Every structure is written in structure tokens, then in C-alpha cells.
Amino acid sequence: MRRRALISDGAAKSDWPALFKKELEFEREFVKQGGLLLAGLDPTGYGGVIAGFRDQREVELLVEAGFTPVEAIHMATSNGAEFLGEQDKIGTLVVGKQADLVVINGDPSGNIADIEKVEIVFKDGIGYDSAKLIESVGGLVGLR
């Protein structure tokens, strides 16, 4: 019982919630001042990031920071292409551009939580069933 209290006490004294709030404020101000905000996962190097899940959460966090769902989706797609100087090849759905696609059962432009309702992912022209991929890593995630 004492151990649980120590963990709770430590969490209550943590600076992370305030720092996180400052980060969200910084991102809004950066864009307000004309900055090009990008979204992309930060690989851990030890296999702790599951492909796709971190990207979804980052878009949700951008909405929590005060951006609209459409702005957050734009930051996760078009802004990266613009930063790389590749906007004529990738970043938006236009005839002639290359694209990896995520088919979602819902409308994340109106309800950002729908971004987690992935049905199929198309990568390099191949469709991957999300449920089967998640099932295939059952018991393996978090072990490394």
C-alpha cells in the first residue's frame, strides 16, 4: 500500500503536465507566427513505437493543442511534403501524385477520434488489413 502512495505522490509533483501544456502553447504560437508545423513520429530506436499508432496520436494531440481536425490532418500530410520540397509529388490526393492511404471508418475531419478507426492501410500499392496486423503482433508489442 505504501508503494502505491509513493507513486501517486511522485506523479502529483511531476513537472510534465505543465511542460506538456507549454509545448502545446508553443506549437500554436509557432504556427501563428508563420511557422510550418510538421507531424511525424519520433522513432525510439528500440522498437517501442508501433507504426501508425503514434502518428494517429500526434494528430489527436494537435487538435488538443487547439488546431482544427482539418488543420491537424494537413500538418500530418501536406506540410511534410512542403517542407521536403516534394509537394508536387506527395502530400495531397491529386491525380499523378504518389500516395499511401489510410481508409477510415468515420470522418476525422469532423471528429478527430475517428482517426483511430482504421480499416485498411495502402502502402506502396498494397492493402493491409488493420485488424489482421494488430492480431499478428499480439503478445509481441512492448516485449523488446
- One-letter amino acid at 77 equals T
H/E run at residue 91: none
pLDDT digits (tens, 9 = 90+) for 61-103: 999 999 999 999 999 999 999 999 999 999 999 999 999 899 9
Q: How far apart are CA 102 and CA 112, in angstroms?
A: 14
Average pLDDT along the chain: 84
- pTM for the complete prediction? 0.77
In this prediction, residue 115 carries a pLDDT of: 93
Q: Average of pLDDT values for 8-36?
A: 86
| Separation between Cα atoms, residue 47 and residue 120, nearest integer Å | 23
Question: In 1-144, where does DSSP find H-type helix?
Answer: 2-12, 16-32, 53-64, 69-76, 78-84, 130-136
- Percentage of the chain beyond pLDDT 90 is 54
- Which of 138 and 16 is assigned the larger pLDDT? 16
Q: Tell me the C-alpha to C-alpha distance, in Å, between residue 96 and each of 25, 87, 89, 120.
A: 37, 12, 8, 22
Residues 6+ apart with CB under 8 A from 34: none
Asked whether the predicted pLDDT for residue 1 surpasses 80, the reply is no
- Residues 103-119: what's their mean pLDDT? 94
Bridge-partner residues for 124, per DSSP? none
